[in-house]
C-alpha cells in the first residue's frame, strides 16, 4: 500500500511539473507537510512538535521563495537553513521540561529542517534550462523504484530491476518521444537511474528503521516506557524517496540536461 501511495505522490509531482513550476511547488509543499506531520511530529523525542512546526516553516519558506522568484538555483535553501539552525537551538532553550534527551531533540530538529528543504531542489530544477525534462526523468526513476519495491522478490533483485527499468524507460523516452529528443540518451539514463538509486537508498533506510522498531519497542517495555517508532515508517516510505532523490537529480539535471 505504501508503494502505491509513494508512486501516487510522484505521479502528482510529475503532472504538477508538466503544468508549471508553481504547481510543482504546491505538490512539493504537500510532500513536506506529509513528511513533517507524519514522521517528525510523531517522533518519540521531546520537543518533536516544535521541531515539526519549525521544519514546516523552513521547508515551506524555501519552496515558496524558489517558486515565487522563479530561481533555478538553491540560494533560498541556503539562506533559510542558516537561521533555522539558530532557531533549532532556541527551541531547546525555551523548553521547560528539564530538557531530557537534549542531544536527541536537537538532532531531530536540525535533521528535520535539513531534510524538509531538500525537495525544494525539484522546484529549482524546474526553472532551469531543460528543467522540465530533468524533473520528469528524475521522478520517473524514483517512481519505478517505489513500484518495484512492492514486487515479491528479494530486495537485491527488485532494486537491481528498478535501476535497469528506470534506465530503459529513460532511454526509450529520449529516443522515441519527440519532446525529449533534445535530451541525449546517455544523460536521460543517468538522471533516471540515479533518481531510482536514491529512492532505493531511502527505502532501504526506512526498512532498517522498520526492522529496528520492534526491537526498540521491546526494550522500552522492559524499562516501562512506550515509544512507538513504527508509526513514522509509512509516511517515510511515501515521502522519503522524493526527499532523498531531489538534490542528486538536481545536480545531474543541471549538468547533463539542457
Which tens digit of pLDDT belongs to each residue from 2-45?
889 999 999 999 999 999 999 999 999 999 999 999 999 988 88
Q: Which residues contact 127 (CB under 8 A, 6 or more apart)?
A: 21, 66, 70, 71, 72
Please give the pLDDT value at position 215.
53
C-alpha to C-alpha distance for 58 and 84, rounded to whole angstroms: 7
Q: Which residues of 236-256 are buried (b: 16+ CB within 10 A; e: fewer)?
A: bbbbbbbbbbbbbbbebbbeb
Angle between helices 155-176 and 131-148 in degrees, nearest 10? 150
Answer whether residue 219 shows pLDDT above 60: no
- pLDDT, one tens digit per residue, over 126-171 is 999 999 999 999 999 999 999 999 888 888 999 999 999 999 999 9
Is 203:254 a contact under the CB 8 Å cutoff?
no
Amino acid at each position: 500500500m505504501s508503494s502505491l501511495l509513494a508512486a501516487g505522490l510522484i505521479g502528482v509531482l510529475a503532472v504538477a511539473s508538466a503544468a508549471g513550476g508553481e504547481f510543482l511547488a504546491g505538490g512539493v509543499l504537500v510532500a513536506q507537510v506529509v513528511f513533517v506531520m507524519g514522521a517528525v511530529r510523531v517522533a518519540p523525542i521531546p520537543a518533536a512538535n516544535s521541531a515539526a512546526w519549525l521544519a514546516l516553516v523552513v521547508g515551506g519558506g524555501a519552496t515558496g521563495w524558489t517558486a515565487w522568484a522563479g530561481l533555478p538555483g538553491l540560494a533560498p535553501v541556503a539562506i533559510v537553513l542558516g537561521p533555522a539552525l539558530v532557531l533549532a537551538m532556541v527551541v531547546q532553550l525555551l523548553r521547560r521540561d528539564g530538557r531530557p534527551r537534549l542531544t536527541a531533540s536537537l538532532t531531530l530538529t536540525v535533521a528535520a529542517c535539513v531534510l524538509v528543504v531538500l525537495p525544494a531542489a525539484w522546484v529549482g530544477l524546474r526553472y532551469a534550462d531543460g528543467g522540465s525534462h530533468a524533473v520528469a526523468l528524475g521522478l520517473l526513476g524514483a517512481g519505478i523504484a517505489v513500484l518495484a519495491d512492492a514486487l515479491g522478490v528479494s530486495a537485491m533483485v527488485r532494486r537491481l530491476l528498478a535501476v535497469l527499468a528506470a534506465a530503459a524507460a529513460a532511454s526509450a523516452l529520449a529516443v522515441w518521444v519527440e519532446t525529449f529528443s533534445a535530451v541525449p540518451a546517455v544523460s536521460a539514463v543517468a538522471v533516471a537511474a540515479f533518481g531510482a538509486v536514491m529512492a532505493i537508498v531511502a527505502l532501504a533506510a526506512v526498512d532498517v528503521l522498520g526492522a529496528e522498531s520492534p526491537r526498540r519497542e521491546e526494550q522500552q517495555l522492559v524499562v516501562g516506557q512506550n515509544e512507538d517508532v513504527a508509526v513514522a515508517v509509512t509516511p517515510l516510505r511515501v515521502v522519503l524517496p522524493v526527499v532523498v532523490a531531489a538534490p542528486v537529480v538536481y545536480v545531474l539535471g543541471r549538468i547533463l540536461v539542457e
